[in-house]
Structures are given as structure tokens and as C-alpha cells.
Amino acid sequence: MVNTESQPSNFTGNEATPAKITTVLGAGAWGSTLAAVAERSDHHVRLWSRRGETPLESVIQDAEILLSAISMKGVKPMIDRVKAIGIPESTIIVTATKGLDTETAYTPSRLWQEAFPDHPIVVLSGPNLAKEIQNNLPAATVMASEDEAAAEAAQEMFACETFRVYINADPIGTELGGTLKNVIAIASGVCDGLHLGTNAKAALLTRALPEMIRIGTTLGASSETFFGLSGLGDLLATCDSPLSRNYQVGYGLAQGKTLEEILEHLEGTAEGVNTTQVLVRLARKEQIPVPISAQVYRLLKGKSTPQQAVEALMARELKAEFDDLFDD
Ligand SMILES: NC(=O)C1=CN([C@@H]2O[C@H](COP(=O)(O)OP(=O)(O)OC[C@H]3O[C@@H](n4cnc5c(N)ncnc54)[C@H](OP(=O)(O)O)[C@@H]3O)[C@@H](O)[C@H]2O)C=CC1
Ligand SMILES: O=C(CO)COP(=O)(O)O
């Protein structure tokens, strides 16, 4: 695992606090990066992978912080394994997964909380392209929890000179900001792949935000959270970077590749593909308008071409910019 030498600096976030034991579950791009970040902060870090030799029991039973960076499809099986082994009552569970459960539409934090009702759960989410953080470039993120002390413990564990960690008290909003933006990152890749220009991109991202907020607030999030790092911040990062796997999916579709071809060559997981299906199903059930996500859904299903998706969005009935603009 990478262990970065600290440079002399003014960083005063966590130098004086005793080292804690953190176990990171999942040695994919994000898990490996977060483990390296925690090591920069001089804590004891264990990075666990199902492909490794280390038994899960030996790394979770004394962990003060257990961070899951497992992709969505592995979250439920991982929870079952951790539950079968057991963890100390005081262990703080941090979830860094950005996805929705196919069956229940639950977020990962809800799945962890239902399995471990007495443990503090913290959500980690923000504009955090793993490759940039691996390269020691500065980044900021959010640790969100209803348990302030747990959020602060996680903040202290991961904050370092190159990784600035904020806390907030809206875990569901923080989690949905990072999750729903993956659908928009696919749309954004399409926008760039079709060379639709800067005006189109600005319109897409600006109109995506209320769509994310409509879904988020229906699920209990605070609308304010979507204007923070995990909403707007992650939209700006992911929707404008070829490092984003979700953006790459959209870009590939615009080039005329099939979804299967794109996923076959994609490095890592593009959670937005599954999130789109879950989100559109939920939006239909709750009758929430999600025009951009609905077009991404049609595109992924092969029901429209990228050009048809753009035309459909532009041909929608004209309306006021804000729903309640002319209400008294
Ligand atoms: N990469 C990034 O820049 C960021 C990613 N994220 C989020 O973090 C999550 C992981 O992303 P990322 O690391 O990039 O994805 P990767 O595809 O690189 O890694 C996924 C990880 O999940 C593990 N996994 C999958 N299924 C299981 C299972 N059943 N049991 C145990 N482990 C399992 C994989 O193990 P194995 O290797 O053995 O298959 C692997 O370690 C995603 O939800 C993503 O949206 C969030 C912020 C940034
Ligand atoms: O969530 C991310 C950055 O914040 C990573 O985005 P991708 O999963 O699209 O690569």
C-alpha cells in the first residue's frame, strides 16, 4: 500500500490525535485510494479484498472505523459476511459506495443501518475522482452522519494536507448527491461525445440539479445538500472529466458503441448504469418528473439514439424555469 511521506506544512487537522485502526473493505480504485489517504494521516490502515489471503475476521473485529468501498452489487453480500462475523458495538461504519440497491432502491447507508441498527453510520461522498487523489492532487469531500461524533471521527481519520474533509448532518442527501449525479454524468458524456457545445453542457447540468433535488427530497434529503460538494461539486467533477467511468459510458454511446462494448472495456464500475434503472422506476412510482434521467434510461435500453434523446429533451413542452415562479 502507498505510504506518502508528510511534507512540513501548516496542516493541523489530526497531528496530535492517537492513531486509530481503520479497515477498508474493497481494494478497487476507490478503496485503495482511501486506504492510501488514511495512511497519509498516520493511522493504522488495513485494506481488505475478497481476492486477498487475509481472512475477513482478522481485519474487522478490532476496527474502530470500517469503511466500505465495495461497488453496489457487492454491498449486500458484504453486509451479510460482516454481520455473520460480528463487529464491536463502538465500530463506526463509513460507506463510500455511490449506488442504489436494485431490489429495494435503498441507498448503501440504509442497508448498513438496517443490518447494524445500533452502530453509527457515516456517508463519504464528494467530487473525488480516485486517480487525481492517488496523484496527491488536492480534493475535498464530505463525511455525513446523524451522529456528529462519528462524522468527526471519520473526518479526523481521513483529513490530510491534500484531502480536506467537511462534515454535515444530512447523510441521505450527501449519499444521493453522489449517486444521482452518475446518471447525469452519462448524459454529460453523451453531450460531449456529440460535441453539443458549452451552452448545452451548462443547460444540462443546471437542469439536472432540480431533477436530483426532486428525487432527493422525496427520499428525505435536504435540498441544500445538493448545492454542496456532494451534489453540485460532484456534478462539476464527474460531468466534465474523461476520468469518470460514467462519463465514459455516455461518451461511448455518443460514438455509436453499444453499452455491452463499452462495459467490456471499461476499467472499474460505472454505477450510473444500474442507478438509472432504479431511479427511473422509483420516479415512475412516485410520479416525479425526471426528463434527463428518463432519456438516459431509454438510451441505455437501446430505445433511442443519442441524437433522438437530445431532440426529445429540446422538444419538451415549454414551461417556467422554476415550478412555483408565478404562484402567490
Ligand atoms: N473510483 C472513483 O473515483 C470513485 C468511486 N466511488 C464509488 O466507490 C464504489 C467502488 O468504486 P471503485 O473502487 O471505483 O470500483 P472498482 O470496480 O474499482 O472496485 C469495486 C470493488 O468492490 C469489490 N466487490 C464487488 N463485489 C464484491 C463482493 N460481492 N464482495 C466483496 N467485494 C466486492 C471489488 O472486489 P473485486 O476486485 O474482488 O471484484 C472491488 O474491490 C462505487 O460505488 C463508486 O461509485 C466513489 C468515489 C470515487
Ligand atoms: O464518483 C466519482 C467521482 O466523485 C467517480 O465517478 P465515476 O464512478 O463515474 O468514475
CB 31 within 8 A of CB 52: no
Task: Identify which of 71, 79, 100, 180 to mutate to test ligand 1's pocket (most ligand atoms within 8 A of the CB).
Answer: 71
Kindly report the backbone phi and psi dihedral angles of residue 90, in degrees, each rounded to the nearest multiple of 5, phi listed first.
-85, -5
Q: Which CATH class is domain 173-315?
A: mainly alpha
Catalytic residue among 83, 181, 201, 319: 181
Rounded (10°) CA dihedral 312, 313, 317, 323:
150
The rounded distance, in Å, linking the Cα atoms of 100 and 35 is 23
181 counts as catalytic: yes
Q: Cα 303 to the chain's mean position, in Å?
A: 27
Please say if the pLDDT value at position 139 is more than 90: yes
Q: What is the mean pLDDT of residues 33-44?
A: 91
Confidence (pLDDT) at 20: 80
User: Which numbered ligand comes closest to the C-alpha of 79?
Assistant: 1
CATH of domain 21-169: 3.40.50.720
pLDDT tens, residue by residue, 182-212: 999 999 999 999 999 999 999 999 999 999 9
- Every domain of the chain with CATH number 1.10.1040.10 lies at 173-315
Please say if the pLDDT value at position 325 is more than 60: no
The mean pLDDT value of the chain amounts to 94
pLDDT tens, residue by residue, 247-283: 999 999 999 999 999 999 999 999 999 999 999 999 9
The rounded distance, in Å, linking the Cα atoms of 113 and 314 is 41
Q: What is the mean pLDDT of residues 139-162?
A: 97
Q: How far is the CA of 101 from the centre of ligand 1 (A)?
A: 14
- Every domain of the chain with CATH number 3.40.50.720 lies at 21-169
pLDDT tens, residue by residue, 13-26: 655 555 689 999 99
Nearest-10 crossing angle of helices 306-314, 291-300: 160
